[in-house]
Amino acid sequence: MVNLPLAHDLLWGMTPAQLPADAPQWAIESLAAGQPVVVRRAVSDEGLIAVGVRGLLREQRLATFMRLDSIACRVSPEALCHAESARDLPVTRALRQLRQMLDDCGWVWGVSGSVGFELASGFAAMHAASDLDLILRTPHLITRHQARELVALFDQAACRVDMQLQTPFGAVALREWASASARVLLKNAQQAQLVIDPWNPQERAA
């Protein structure tokens, strides 16, 4: 593939044979059923990509690696912005409620988490208490004031909404960037570190 998959992309093509020998039975069954895996942030060897396998239960998550040459299909979170579900749940109502506003903001956004997984794959993952997980591609600074405005809008939605801001240097939680914390947690494949500015992580306090 020309472009390497990004965190939160869903990938099809991994088989149970690629799992570690000690993989749990639920992970074997998930892949045997044709479920996708989700790209995660971690350093991987050449020819491999770090992924996570989902089970039916919340605690059933397996971190592993997939061969890049096994990828048969790739779906990004932003490809799911306008995907619809026939299920009437708080998360699906929240997505419909926020979609136009996010489209109008001018940034590239996407759907991840259980909602993105179900919209892309058709495998049931959402439930009545699910959060709506979103990502926002932010190559340039979003001010803390803009972050607080987004949080205020999200807090009017039908369920809890969590968004990750995807900066050139990693991801930071929108709610954390909107908070009064002097430093926020920036996560990338190499590390998680507390920074003053996620768009300029080398900046030091005066």
**How far is residue 123's CA from residue 51's CA, in Å, rounded to a whole number?**
18
**Among residues 104, 133, 155, 197, which one is catalytic?**
133
104 catalytic, yes or no? no
Which residues is 161 bridged to in the sheet?
Answer: 132
Residue 44 per-residue DSSP state: -
CB 88 within 8 A of CB 74: no
**Among residues 22, 131, 162, 197, which one is catalytic?**
131
**How far is residue 133's CA from residue 125's CA, in Å, rounded to a whole number?**
13
The pairing of strands 73-75 and 192-195 is: unpaired
88 catalytic, yes or no? no
Residues in the chain: 206
Query: Which residues belong to the active site?
Result: 131, 133
